[in-house]
Amino acid sequence: MTLEKLTKTTTKPKKRLGRGYGSGKGGHTSGRGQKGQKSRSKLPLYFEGSKMRKTYIRRMPMLRGKLRFKAKKNQPVIFNLKDFADWPKDTPVTVESLVKAGWINPGMPVKLLGEGELKEPLKIDLPMSKSAARKIAKK
């Protein structure tokens, strides 16, 4: 391998601002312009143009309580009876069949609610609400 055979790089490294003459970005103002807030210090990440306007982060409601730092995990994916109107007759409704159909990802919890009606009787093996169980038992 010789130097002539190496691929050419076209991107130059980013010049570091505010590091004096040796940085290659000038000396006195060091590439930050002359005056103003950005020449003297960095702006906060949540800054949106002026001090008068409340930032997006501060406009959001606060989460209160003990669980505010925990992610909302293990909340079931909700399905209704009306979602299974076009489900094939001979296929039982299980978590595995929902994964195979591409409706959910493996390992996701599922719950069936009773909104809507079933056209044909189905074999359903999912956790369900009382109203859904009553409607399924009628069919």
- Asked whether residue 128 falls in the same domain as residue 92, the answer is yes
Question: 75-88 burial, b for 16+ CB within 10 Å, e for fewer?
Answer: eeeebebeebeebe
Residues 57 and 93 in one domain: no
Decide if 6 is inside a domain: no
Whether residue 82 is found in the same domain as residue 56: no
Predicted pLDDT of residue 95? 93
95-117 pLDDT per residue, tens: 999 999 999 999 889 999 999 98
Residue 112 lies in a domain: yes
Q: What percent of the chain has pLDDT over 70?
A: 99
Domains held by the chain: number? 2
d(CA 88, CA 84): 9
Same domain, 83 and 44: no
Which run of H or E residues covers position 42?
A: none
Is residue 68 assigned to a domain? Answer: no
Q: Check whether residue 20 and residue 50 sit in a common domain.
A: yes
Residue at 41 is within a domain: yes
Q: What is the pTM of this model?
A: 0.49
Q: pLDDT of 5-30, one tens digit each?
A: 888 888 887 777 777 777 777 777 77
More confident residue, 127 or 46: 127
**132 and 88 in one domain?**
yes
92 and 43 share one domain: no
Task: Tell me if residue 84 falls in helix, strand or coil.
Answer: helix
Give a yes or no: residue 133 inside a domain. Answer: yes
Burial of residue 129 (number of CB atoms within 10 Å: 0-12, 13-18, 19+): middle
Residue with more model confidence, 126 or 41: 126
- Residue recorded with tokens 């790089």: 9
Host domain of residue 132: 77-138
In a domain, 2, yes or no: no
Q: In one letter, which amino acid is 114? A: G
- Most confident of the ranges 17-21, 45-49, 66-70, 112-116: 112-116
CB contact set of 31 (below 8 Å; sequence gap of 6+): 15, 17, 18, 25
Q: Which residue has the higher pLDDT, 46 or 79?
A: 79
Q: What is the mean pLDDT of residues 32-60?
A: 80
